[in-house]
């Protein structure tokens, strides 16, 4: 609770936390939606926002307000799956590479460097082009996770490297603690905050990539997400026809999502790193 109070001092945390809570409430409204988001021609087409249709309707006869509640929910689900699954790769890799050192470290870091260096976007395009029809939220999330672990593995590994030099590591080794217990009991508490901060970053990255892939038509376009909403708006020429409410809704929602996730992650990691905290206070 004290932690939360401290974080609340930061205006970025205050804003991002409030906006994210708002977006979560918005997304959970989808459970009360009067329409099925996959059905077309449920409402009149191309109506601007009004008291009846809060955010207007689109050319396929779908209510944009209720559609976007589903879109936010699904985008966040993809991001959560990508974030959590990629942590399952990142954390073991970082712990093993940092703790074992030597050639294990070199091999693992070579693999993660390769992932950083290769233009992953193109590889993802190749993959999704072949599997897009069979894709759902879960497979998309897992696919993104396979590509989103490398950078964070480096970040967490460098933290483990500093932990290894600390006194308690030697005490633990000398008292016969095994590698696994060492990692789980001694190191995990130290790296958990970092894992959490990088999780938020990778979620934001996953939402952005989902949008990009969807706009290229490389995901399952029947599932409402922020990306597929933009795809349909663009393919029905919403911009040229002046249906600004159709294109603006997913764009504005995703901007809120990106900025608030980023600010949340920055405020948390600044809080964790006392050096930058002191600089911010101005001591």
Q: Which of 1, 2, 41, 119 binds other proteins (CB under 8 A)?
A: 119
Q: CA–CA separation, 243 vs 56, rounded Å?
A: 9
What does the alpha-carbon distance between residue 62 and residue 40 come to, in Å, rounded to a whole number? 6
Smallest gap, in angstroms, from Cβ of residue 27 to other proteins?
19
How many other CB atoms are found less than 10 A from the CB of residue 272?
Answer: 13
Among 35, 54, 190, 262, the residue binding other proteins under the rule CB under 8 A is 262
Q: How many residues lie near other proteins (CB under 8 A)?
A: 44
Stretch that binds other proteins, among 31-39, 63-71, 183-191, 204-212 (CB under 8 A): 204-212
Virtual CA dihedral for 30, 32, 38, 42, nearest 10 degrees?
-130
Task: Output the smallest distance, CB 42 to other proteins, in A.
Answer: 28
Radius of gyration of the chain, Cα coordinates, nearest whole angstrom: 22
Nearest approach, Cβ of 184 to other proteins (angstroms)? Answer: 30
Q: How far apart are the first and last CA of the chain?
A: 25
The pair of structure tokens assigned to 186 is: 């001694």
> Is 52 among the residues that bind other proteins (CB under 8 A)?
no
Mark the segment that binds other proteins (CB under 8 A) among 40-48, 91-99, 171-179, 261-269. Answer: 261-269
Instruction: Return the number of the residue (133 or 165) whose C-beta is nearest other proteins.
Output: 133
- Give SS3 for 264: helix
- Candidate ranges 29-37, 41-49, 183-191, 254-262; the one touching other proteins (CB under 8 A): 254-262
Q: Does 116 bind other proteins (CB under 8 A)?
A: yes
Give the span between the Cα atoms of 10 and 17, in whole angstroms. 11
- Distances in Å between the Cα of 47 and the Cα atoms of 36, 58, 218, 228 are 19, 7, 29, 20
Q: Which is nearer to other proteins, 91 or 226 (CB)?
A: 226
Give the CA dihedral 149, 150, 151, 156, nearest 10 degrees: 80
Contact pick of 55, 218, 223, 268 for other proteins (by CB under 8 A): 218
Burial class of residue 251, CB neighbours in 10 A (0-12, 13-18, 19+)? middle
Q: Mask 226-245, x = binds other proteins (CB under 8 A)? A: -------------x------
The residue assigned the tokens 């989103």 is: 148
Beta bridge partners of 254: none
- Least distance from other proteins to the Cβ atom of residue 15, Å: 11
Residue 48: DSSP 8-state = P
Instruction: Please report how close the Cβ of residue 236 comes to other proteins at its closest, in angstroms.
Output: 16
Tell me which of 34, 167, 176, 282 binds other proteins, using CB under 8 A: 282
Instruction: Quote the least distance from Cβ 243 to other proteins, whole Å.
Output: 13
Give the shortest CB-189-to-other proteins separation in angstroms.
Answer: 26
Do residues 280 and 266 lie in contact, with contact meaning Cβ atoms separated by under 8 Å? Answer: no
Q: By CB under 8 A, name the binding residues for other proteins.
A: 12, 110, 113-114, 116-123, 125-127, 129-131, 133-134, 204, 207-209, 211-212, 215-218, 239, 251, 254-255, 258-259, 261-263, 266, 275-276, 279, 282
């Amino acid at each position: 609770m004290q932690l939360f109070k401290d974080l609340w001092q930061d205006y970025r945390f205050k804003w991002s936390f409030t906006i994210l809570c708002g977006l979560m409430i918005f997304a959970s409204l989808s459970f009360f939606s009067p329409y099925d988001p996959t059905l077309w021609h449920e409402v009149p087409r191309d109506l601007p926002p009004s008291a009846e249709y809060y955010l207007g309707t689109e050319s396929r006869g779908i209510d944009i307000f209720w559609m976007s509640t589903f879109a936010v929910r699904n985008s966040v689900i993809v991001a959560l799956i990508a974030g959590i699954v990629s942590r399952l790769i990142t954390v073991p890799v970082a712990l093993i590479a940092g703790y074992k050192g030597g050639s294990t470290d070199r091999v693992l870091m070579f693999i993660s460097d390769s992932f950083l260096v290769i233009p992953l976007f193109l590889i993802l395009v190749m993959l999704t082009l072949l599997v897009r029809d069979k894709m759902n939220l879960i497979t998309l999330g897992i696919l993104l996770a396979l590509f989103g672990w490398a950078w964070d593995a480096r970040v967490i590994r460098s933290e483990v490297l500093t932990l290894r030099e600390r006194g308690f590591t030697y005490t633990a080794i000398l008292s016969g603690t095994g590698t696994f217990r060492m990692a789980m009991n001694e190191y995990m508490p130290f790296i958990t905050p970092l894992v959490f901060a990088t999780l938020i970053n990778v979620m934001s990255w996953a939402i952005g990539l989902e949008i990009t892939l969807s706009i290229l038509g490389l995901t399952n376009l029947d599932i409402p997400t922020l990306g597929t909403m933009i795809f349909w708006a663009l393919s029905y020429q919403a911009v040229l026809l002046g249906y600004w409410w159709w294109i603006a809704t997913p764009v504005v929602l995703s901007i809120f999502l990106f900025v608030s996730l980023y600010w949340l992650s920055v405020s948390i990691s600044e809080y964790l790193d006392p050096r930058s905290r002191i600089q911010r206070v101005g001591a």
